Amino acid sequence: MVFLEDKNLDMRRYNAPTLCTEVAATFVGDNGESPANRYICVYPVGDTCQSISPLNQCCDPITYPFLFPRGECSWNTGMEHVEERRTAKRTRVTQLQYYAYRLSQRNGFSILHNSELLEDICKHGIFGTVLAYIYVIEFQKRGLPHAQILQTLDSESKIRTKDDIDKFVSAELPDPCTDLRLFQIATKCMVHSPCGTININYPCMRDGQCCKNFPKQFKDDTEENVNGYPIYRRRATEPVQVGKYSIYNRWVVPYNPWLLKKFNAHINVEVCASVKSVKYLYKYVYKGHDAASVKIQKEGALDHDEILSFVEGRYVSAPEAMWRLNEFNLSHKSHTVVRLAVHLPQQQPIVYQDGQEAQAIERAALRKTTLTSWFELNKNDPSPHNISYSDIPQHYVFDKSTTNWKKRQCGGQNVIGRLPVVRILRYSFPNPFDSISN
């Protein structure tokens, strides 16, 4: 099995393995989901092939003997929760809960890392491999999990001037005489090219150019909002010798000194002054699952099917697998934004298909918008009279099926009402009495 590198693919999803070895799995499925059906065949001694269900409690001990060294049964559909974990909605153990429990480390013991268990397994010659729709492979690592975080500061803490930018973000190498530890971390973690030159093998390269626009130009002073981002100060100081390479400020990735010393890791910090930052964040979060383009070939074989040799697969690394087993959030949004309609009487937007304009108008006449429903709410109920239209989602929920506002039961503190910008044009008309006075 060979992983293919194609610059025509989205490298945020098909990024090539690097750094060190890792165990991972690839499989072919729809929309990144694992196949619903698996075919598992067992060959009993002296008998013909028999198929068993993946839900069979004997399936896992056969497939993963490391996890079941004594041949005990695994999860089954009838496994019930213990009394203290049983609820009205959930009385039985799910597969996810079962495997998370089996693989977790408790009191310093992990079934995957216990040396005595592995020694006992090897002594008795118990070993097994997985041959199903999943390919388990060991190769170079694709990279560590990371986060993309967009923070909105309150009005008193907003970064407004270039002096504020220089206070929080630096794109220069620190002085080793002033802060040696910060210098060591910055040269290790925040230099885009460790050798100080363009490397055509870097994943950021597109047609011989760095897509991140490194090396940057020298700049004596920070320049504020340029296409949504500042141009940070990068003074043309003497290069710094790091190992056998000379590094200039042109190669430094922007960072926050406090965060860098706190976490001793690559933390890129940018000051965002445009909606582009939000677009970038959502594009990154919803880019899709990790994928792999692989080629299956047999050494020395000349006769093979070219089409079937290439597989478009879903890629699951060990960190992602454990993250999902522990039911950690893959993404998180702190607030719900409710878009509120603003329009003139009988001028609300209508969506229709060609030739169905009359039907669309009839439907719109029977349905209220968030604005017209708010008027009706205030007409019939005195409770929301002191609540502005933009704040109404914090206290009421708009039911799209009935197009009515209903009293909210909980969660109002995490709801934001969003109003579109309305521009009011003011016209200046001549005073008709001016001609009389003149």
**DSSP one-letter string for 217-267:** PPBSS-EEEETTEEE--B-----EEETTEEE-GGGBPPB-HHHHHHH-S--
| Amino acid occupying residue 236 | A
pLDDT at 139: 33
| Cα-to-chain-centroid distance, residue 125 | 42
pLDDT band per the 50, 70, 90 thresholds, residue 178: very high
High-pLDDT (> 70) share of the chain, %? 75
Q: Nearest-5° angle of CA 347, CA 348, CA 354?
A: 95
Q: Which residue has the higher pLDDT, 304 or 385?
A: 385
Give 352-388 as a DSSP string: --TT-HHHHHHHHHHS--HHHHHHHHHHH-SGGGGS-
| Mean pLDDT of all residues in 364-372 | 90
Model-level pTM? 0.50
Which letter, b or e, does each residue of 295-319 get, where b requires 16 or more Cβ atoms within 10 Å of its Cβ? eeeeeeeeeeeeeeeebebbbbbee
Q: Which of 55-64, 122-131, 138-147 has the lowest mean pLDDT?
A: 122-131
Task: Out of 98-102, 196-200, 242-246, 421-425, give the one with best mean pLDDT.
Answer: 98-102
- Please, what's the largest Cα pairwise distance for the chain? 119
Q: Which residue has the higher pLDDT, 57 or 5?
A: 57
pLDDT at 325: 84
Kindly tell me if the per-residue pLDDT of 324 is higher than 90: no
| Mean pLDDT of all residues in 288-310 | 66
CA dihedral 152, 156, 159, 160 (to 10 degrees): 130
Phi, psi of 62 (to 5 degrees): -75, -40
Kindly tell me if the per-residue pLDDT of 113 is higher than 90: no
Kindly tell me if the per-residue pLDDT of 9 is higher than 50: yes
Cβ atoms < 10 Å from Cβ of 436: 7
pLDDT digits (tens, 9 = 90+) for 74-89: 898 888 888 878 888 8
pLDDT at 272: 77
Are 392 and 356 contacting, i.e. CB atoms less than 8 angstroms apart? Answer: no
pLDDT averaged over the chain? 77
pLDDT at 179: 92
pLDDT at 377: 93
Phi, psi of 106 (to 5 degrees): -130, 130
Both tokens assigned to 43: 């060959």
**C-alpha to C-alpha distance for 413 and 404, rounded to whole angstroms:** 21
pLDDT digits (tens, 9 = 90+) for 163-173: 888 998 999 99
Are 314 and 289 contacting, i.e. CB atoms less than 8 angstroms apart? Answer: yes
Kindly tell me if the per-residue pLDDT of 19 is higher than 80: no
Upper half-sphere CA count for residue 433 (Cβ side, 13 Å)? 0
Handedness of CA 192, 195, 197, 202 (dihedral sign): negative
Nearest residue to 77 (alpha-carbon basis) of 62, 63, 91: 91
Kindly tell me if the per-residue pLDDT of 308 is higher than 70: no
- CA separation (Å) from 259 to 129, 170, 245, 255, 264? 44, 12, 26, 8, 8
Kindly tell me if the per-residue pLDDT of 37 is higher than 80: no
